[in-house]
Amino acid sequence: MLREADAVKANGGRRVDFSMWLFEQRKRDDRVGRLAFDAYQEYQKGEWPKSGTLQDYLDHEKGNGVRGAPLKALD
């Protein structure tokens, strides 16, 4: 995922914040899409971290009781 973002930046594309990228994935029909949908719901309620590292997002999700496939998708 990070390599893809770097590739976009290297080719003159805009660099997208991870959360924004994730929210745009919410219509996917896989575990990334499910995680994105849930994260977007949290964002709308003001519960999603505004910024942070991958570990911050993982810790946030674990703190909400998320386990298994969604965490693997986030990672």
Widest Cα–Cα separation across the chain: 39
Between 22 and 10, the more confident residue is 22
Per-residue model confidence as pLDDT tens digits over 18-39: 888 889 999 999 988 988 999 9
pLDDT for 7 beyond 50 = no
Alpha helices in the chain (DSSP H): 2-10, 18-24, 31-44, 54-63, 69-74
B/e letters for 2-19, b = 16+ CB within 10 Å, e = fewer, are eeeeeeeeeeeeeeeebb
Average pLDDT over residues 36-59: 87
Average pLDDT over residues 49-66: 82
Residue 27 CA to residue 70 CA, distance in Å, equals: 15
